[in-house]
Structure 1
């Protein structure tokens, strides 16, 4: 396979990423529903069929970013390529997309940890890309964005005060409507939830196996749970951190 599989937009240029993180779909457990939906959408995309822009939202460390990287490894042989775009460089979207148009490869623009204020110019650029401006969008480019925020922008106390009753129904105010309208521009919207205790321990076991350790005793599990408690998070990221620490001590 010739050429890089991924690029990063930096300093007004597409720069190749020569060492792509090797994440496999089988490494991602307890998110089967989200994985199946995203694999199907991406399969349609690489086959040249209609597919949707994707928004992945939810708790931190639950696999949102990892699944996008895993898709690249899974579909690279079918022509999928990844372009990492920092949030505030979204204003450069026309320049980013221009050299990709017409190529035989299929490009996912990967926007990680999206969160902007309501008056950010990046917000306008993303809306234009998703909903279409004057320029016809290329059919070989999609946007996959991740965010810890459900509506991509901070929720404020003022937003709640704007809710009002109309004909016995509760309606959001203009600020909330604006935030919801951005989320709705993504055709596929997948939510990721925090892991429970058993799911977290399953992730610990998975990461340990990848490090060459096939089992963990009861005392090790207690340490894993204490590790998560100290970080106030039972996420895949925390499970991986514990596994590396525990494996290194053995």
Structure 2
């Protein structure tokens, strides 16, 4: 004979289960936040979206201009490209994506950023399904993408960019950053393969070819690096010596926008000033 108390508890638990919405199905207002994060199953609004000021990104004026114009077209509902931003680390690829979106939002354009971790690529069809439910323009950001070879994941992403039932919706454009120009590695011995050599090369380049706009970010020369430091220092009322800035970069083995910003953080710390 069943205990009446246990039956009541079981009934109550069943009733609760019927009314609890799983986290992956929880309603998220895709029209309210400036940025979102997709973790492979759940999309969440970003609490504090505060990228670097677009005007502070120096030494990459041509790349900034091209990306901003493409983003503005997408935000306005006009034809726009998926974008590949490739090149040396620390040169402003990721910062330019976020800063471009923030600039358009300050101009009053209704566009949002949605970032997806590169280890969640298999979940992109589910994300596309969610974003089809709104007419709001989205820029889907995949940061630091790379594949060991042109295998299944690379081919799957190619199909999402072009063709197939799971292709990205019209209100979404993909912005991808990579240290590699073709995303997948290229090897010199490819040229020595006498059998279908062209097929091997074409397969490896096929993913990068899906992006209508490809922007290269390159290492800076010394003058450009110092100019970036000067722009930051002027903005925040900091003084510096060019030689000191160069020595800072030399110690780190790199001249880049990232290193320039790190030096400015050091300057502000020395001066007891806040960067705000």
Q: Which structure 2 residues correspond to residues 88-237 of structure 1 after superposition, within 5 A? A: 88-118=119-149, 120-135=151-166, 137-162=168-193, 173-213=198-238, 215-216=239-240, 220-237=241-258
- Please report the TM-score for the alignment, with normalisation by the length of structure 1: 0.88
Residue segments in structure 1 that go unaligned for 5+ positions in a row: 165-170
Greater Rg by CA: 2
- Shift in Å, 1:135: 4.4
User: CA–CA distance in 1 between the matches of 2:203 and 2:178?
Assistant: 17
Q: Are the equivalent residues in 2 in contact too, given 1:162–1:173 (CA < 8 A)?
A: no
User: CA–CA distance in 2 between the matches of 1:129 and 1:17?
Assistant: 25
User: CA–CA distance in 2 between the matches of 1:11 and 1:130?
Assistant: 18
Number of the residue aligned with 1:246 = 267
Q: Are the equivalent residues in 2 in contact too, given 1:163–1:173 (CA < 8 A)?
A: no
- Deviates further, 19-28 or 186-195: 19-28
With over 3 angstroms needed to count, the CA separation of the structure-2 counterparts of 1:172 and 1:35, relative to structure 1, is: farther
User: CA–CA distance in 2 between the matches of 1:33 and 1:172?
Assistant: 35
Q: Are the equivalent residues in 2 in contact too, given 1:88–1:122 (CA < 8 A)?
A: no
Residue segments in structure 2 that go unaligned for 5+ positions in a row: 1-30, 272-276
| Match 1:23 to one of 11, 28, 52 | 52
User: CA–CA distance in 1 between the matches of 2:55 and 2:39?
Assistant: 31
- Shift in Å, 1:142: 0.5
Number of the residue aligned with 1:168 = none
- Shift in Å, 1:27: 1.0
The Cα RMSD (Å) is: 2.0
- Shift in Å, 1:85: 0.9
Task: Please list every run of at least 4 consecutive aligned residues from structure 1 whose deviation after the TM superposition is greater than 4 angstroms.
Answer: none
- Shift in Å, 1:121: 3.9
More strand per residue: 1
- Shift in Å, 1:161: 3.0
Cα displacement string for residues 138-160 of structure 1 (whole angstroms, at most 9, x for unaligned residues): 21100000111011012335434
Aligned residues: 239
